[in-house]
Structure 1
Amino acid sequence: MAERGPTTAGADTPDRGGPPRADAATAAGQPLGRFLRARPWLVDAAVSLVFTAIVVATLASEALTGQAVVTVWDVLTIAGTAIALLFRRRAPLTVLVVVLLLTTVITFSAQSNLLLAVPIALYAVAALRSPTIGWIAGAGAYLVTVVSLFAWLPALSAQLGEPGAFDIPVVLLTLAMADTVGVLLGANTWQRAERVKVLTERAEQLSRERDAQARIATLAERSRIAGEMHDIVAHSLSVMISLADGADATLERDPATARRALAQLSETGRSALQDMRRTLSVLGESTDAAAAREPAPGHADLADLVERFRTAGLPVRFSVRGTPIANATFELAVYRVVQEALTNALRYAPDAAHVTVAVEYGPPATTVTVTDDGRGAATGESAGSGRGLIGMAERAAVFGGTVEAGPVPTGGWRVRAVLPHPDGGRAAEGDAIGGDGDA
């Protein structure tokens, strides 16, 4: 209920692109991709198996042609490298060190493709750590390979023969290209993963923002409904209490007047019940269904509103000046301000001899002034919560307006609300009011 106290209140675009397109090959590969992403150990096992098969096939071919002799150390080196590659996802840097030791430092595997394990390990470093670490590791691995090559060169020359003028440069260039390709592929994989991560985080952020906006909208709607319910219940109960008191006081000496008060009491209760149903119905209905219901009260209902307060015993003088605008939300705000101000007067100034309601329809704003000369207003007595004045201020603030409430110097209480007309507001057809109109 309104409280007697001075109060012043002031005033991602969706993408236009069509649906994503995918060819048959991409669509067919999606289940396999999801299966492998859920089981990365299968990919590591397949890489290690294919690598081992290539090395073994190469070494077997050279052994059959007499170009190489397979030793137990060769078998152990191949097995150790294959096993190390199985753990490249868990510890890529450690695997790189182990592979370098097995293929270039402890022995230089020039007679097979075992050196291919180095770019495979570099790929894992760049893909799972970062491209920067991958390039640093690649440079270090290549430096170790070069030093090992020249350290093992006498043994290799004795085993394979003296190298030609271009053999060593070609080997070094080949190794450099292999290491570079491994790092480049790993960096590309890392960048793709980062892009997916950024897109995922962005989608999550948008989802959180959407949920927050939904919560804000829900709270705003709850606040609006709470304001509507306060206006309806407070007004109706105040009028009904006054009517009941009046009927009780006149029941014996003037039964006819008491019956009229009781009839008005019943009508006020039905009207309040209808307003509550209309307000609460929007919670479970679609926009079209809610719009089909009886429209909310506006300026055309002000005279009936004033008459109900007169019946309740409040001596109201009502005057209207100007031309209302055709805007349902604006009209409802004006109606609720008048309703709340009169309810305030009925509750806190029941001894008022004069209550005036003056509504002046702009331009550029509509001004509502409700004044009473009750003694309760002058003394500032109040037992209310202040919700009524807050509700009036909030309704005015929607249109950039203000509400001022407080005692007047001559005694009494005044509520003055100024509501600027919303953009596009136009005069209501057939509702032009010229000069002063008193009711």
Structure 2
Amino acid sequence: MMDVPLSPGYPASVVGGELRLPKPSGVIRQFWTRHPWLTDSLVAALYFVPSFIGNLSLGVADVAPVALALQLGAIAVTGGVLLFRRHRPWLVLGAVWAFFLIVCLWGTMEVLPILIALYALAVYRSTKAAWVGLGGSVVVATFCAYISTWINRSSLIAPSDAPAPTSGAQFATLMFTATLMLTATLIGVTVGNRRRYVNALIGRAHDLARERDQQAQLATAIERSRIARETHDIVSHSLTVMVALAEGSAATVERSPERAADAMRHVADTGRSALDDMRRMLGVLAEPVSVLPALSPQPDSAALPELVEGFQAAGMPVRLTTTGAPVSDPNLQLTIYRIVQEGLTNAFRYAATADRIDVSVDHHGDGVRVEVVDDAVSPTTPALKGGGFGLIGMRERVALYRGTLEVGPRQGRGWRLSAVLHTDDNAQERTEGTT
């Protein structure tokens, strides 16, 4: 990662890596980019030193001391103002115009400062500002040409023996000066447009890098949420069944040892099944693709009878009813299975006194309705309390299919869980995966 900005005003690095579009500047250009004040100082010195020495040596014999001091002072001020060409180009151009008006009193035209100012305006402001500055500079140069011609002819400041310039010569000088200004402006516009284009590309590259990192973080959060739901469904369901069966076997071991033994064997089978599911899930997360354990498909609607039989074996009076043609979407089938699993697990926790628990899965034209209803007189205090994550997970699953979830007590007695899932093609993109 580079420590030097790719372009002024943009950071050298971004989160997650740097997109090198376009190629950064070379070593020499990067040096001048890192030291803008040094660059501006050299530009100002390249104008000030030759101009000051030249006017001082040539003006000692021909110009009055006061006029010479005024001219040299104007050169010095202009050289100092050029230091700010990068940061205040309009201010620099205005100061150069004022200097232009001063030196034309001696019949000369100092064009170099105005060329530097026009170039800086085009590079560090905008193309529109450059053309406006060029127009103003041409107007100032034209005015100065006429002032200089009038002063030379009247011999107010210039020496009396100096030849007065002709109108043709003055016009040619003006055209040459305007051509130089136009050239400086065109060069500045070209360099400025390229600079702005490169900065825009680099800024876009940084934006893409940030967007890439944000998308990666969002995908990570979604995947974590999915893994948390799956882990909760596996662990919560299996541990609830195991705890209930273990307590039941402990209570009946003296009265009915055979029944207690069957219950403990069921506990062992449930634990092994949960352990296999967790091993497969953690293996996908931790192991390379080449050493992944044997995978098995996620449960679907066809696994509902087996799920119900497991709860029936644990002593729950569960009945399953399905209507309509099953959906073909495996992700939707997994969602249906997990909702039924969570509903029966909650019933196992809180509705141990229920005489009947009905599970219905109704497939209709554009969706599926899943209901888990019990007739328990009042909720019981479970040995293993839930933390509310199952309900959160069900709401997330239902939201993926633009569905609705209703959980609450029934009128009279019992508890009801009802979920409606939509199967139309406009449903949101599924984030459910397979393990």
Q: Do both proteins adopt the same fold according to a TM-score greater than 0.5, normalized to the shorter chain?
A: yes
Counterpart of 1:151 (choices 136, 143, 147) is: 147
CA change 1:255–1:42 in 2 (3 A) is same
1:133-144 mapped onto 2 (5 Å cutoff)? 133-144=129-140
2:272 matched residue in structure 1? 270
Q: Does 1:220 align with 2:222?
A: yes
The alignment of Structure 1 onto Structure 2 pairs a total of residues equal to: 390
Is the 1:337–1:392 contact (alpha carbons within 8 Å) kept by the matching residues of 2? yes
AA matched with 2:147: A
Measured against aligned partners, the alpha-carbon deviations of 1:107-140 in whole angstroms (never above 9, x if no partner) come to: 56767x8423322222223433445554554444
Q: Does 1:127 align with 2:129?
A: no
CA change 1:99–1:291 in 2 (3 A) is farther
Shift of 1:373: 2.0
Q: Does 1:235 align with 2:237?
A: yes
2:14 matched residue in structure 1? none
2:429 matched residue in structure 1? none
2:34 matched residue in structure 1? 38
2:338 matched residue in structure 1? 336
Q: Does 1:88 align with 2:90?
A: no
CA change 1:397–1:124 in 2 (3 A) is closer
CA–CA distance in 1 between the matches of 2:133 and 2:419? 74
Shift of 1:336: 0.8
1:5-404 mapped onto 2 (5 Å cutoff)? 30-40=26-36, 43-44=39-40, 47=43, 80=76, 85=82, 88-93=85-90, 95-96=92-93, 99-100=96-97, 104-106=101-103, 114-153=110-149, 156=152, 158=160, 161-284=163-286, 293-362=295-364, 364-376=366-378, 385-404=387-406
Is the 1:377–1:411 contact (alpha carbons within 8 Å) kept by the matching residues of 2? no
Measured against aligned partners, the alpha-carbon deviations of 1:6-55 in whole angstroms (never above 9, x if no partner) come to: xxxxxxxxxxxxx9999xxxx9x844433433344565466567768998
Gaps of 5+ in 2: 1-19, 154-159, 427-435
CA–CA distance in 2 between the matches of 1:52 and 1:243? 96
Higher alpha-carbon deviation: 237-246 or 203-212: 203-212
CA change 1:32–1:110 in 2 (3 A) is farther
Is the 1:243–1:311 contact (alpha carbons within 8 Å) kept by the matching residues of 2? no
Is the 1:401–1:417 contact (alpha carbons within 8 Å) kept by the matching residues of 2? yes
Measured against aligned partners, the alpha-carbon deviations of 1:322-346 in whole angstroms (never above 9, x if no partner) come to: 5534433222112111111111211
AA matched with 1:354: R
CA change 1:95–1:403 in 2 (3 A) is closer
CA–CA distance in 2 between the matches of 1:392 and 1:94? 66
AA matched with 1:233: V
CA change 1:78–1:317 in 2 (3 A) is closer
CA change 1:178–1:303 in 2 (3 A) is same
CA change 1:33–1:316 in 2 (3 A) is same
CA–CA distance in 1 between the matches of 2:406 and 2:267? 31
Is the 2:149–2:170 contact (alpha carbons within 8 Å) kept by the matching residues of 1? no
Measured against aligned partners, the alpha-carbon deviations of 1:356-404 in whole angstroms (never above 9, x if no partner) come to: 333345555444333322212599xx97554433433332332333333
Is the 1:355–1:372 contact (alpha carbons within 8 Å) kept by the matching residues of 2? yes
CA–CA distance in 2 between the matches of 1:360 and 1:366? 6
CA change 1:183–1:347 in 2 (3 A) is same
Is the 1:52–1:78 contact (alpha carbons within 8 Å) kept by the matching residues of 2? no
1:411 matched residue in structure 2? 413
CA–CA distance in 2 between the matches of 1:290 and 1:108? 89
SS at 1:258 equivalent: helix
CA change 1:44–1:195 in 2 (3 A) is same
CA change 1:162–1:419 in 2 (3 A) is closer
SS at 1:414 equivalent: strand
Shift of 1:276: 2.9
CA change 1:252–1:184 in 2 (3 A) is same
CA–CA distance in 1 between the matches of 2:336 and 2:87? 70
CA–CA distance in 1 between the matches of 2:91 and 2:359? 87
CA change 1:143–1:406 in 2 (3 A) is closer
Shift of 1:263: 1.3
CA–CA distance in 2 between the matches of 1:91 and 1:398? 56
CA–CA distance in 2 between the matches of 1:370 and 1:90? 72
Report the TM-score when normalising by structure 1: 0.71
1:435 matched residue in structure 2? none
Shift of 1:200: 4.0
Shift of 1:165: 4.3
Q: Alignment RMSD, CA only?
A: 4.3
Measured against aligned partners, the alpha-carbon deviations of 1:207-227 in whole angstroms (never above 9, x if no partner) come to: 443333333322222222222
Measured against aligned partners, the alpha-carbon deviations of 1:186-232 in whole angstroms (never above 9, x if no partner) come to: 34444444434444444444444333333332222222222222222
AA matched with 2:197: R
CA–CA distance in 2 between the matches of 1:147 and 1:213? 61
CA–CA distance in 2 between the matches of 1:89 and 1:114? 21
Determine what percentage of the aligned residue pairs are the same residue.
38
CA–CA distance in 2 between the matches of 1:410 and 1:96? 88
Measured against aligned partners, the alpha-carbon deviations of 1:66-92 in whole angstroms (never above 9, x if no partner) come to: xxx898959958974667655533554
Shift of 1:101: 5.5
SS at 2:405 equivalent: strand
CA change 1:21–1:145 in 2 (3 A) is closer
Report the TM-score when normalising by structure 2: 0.72
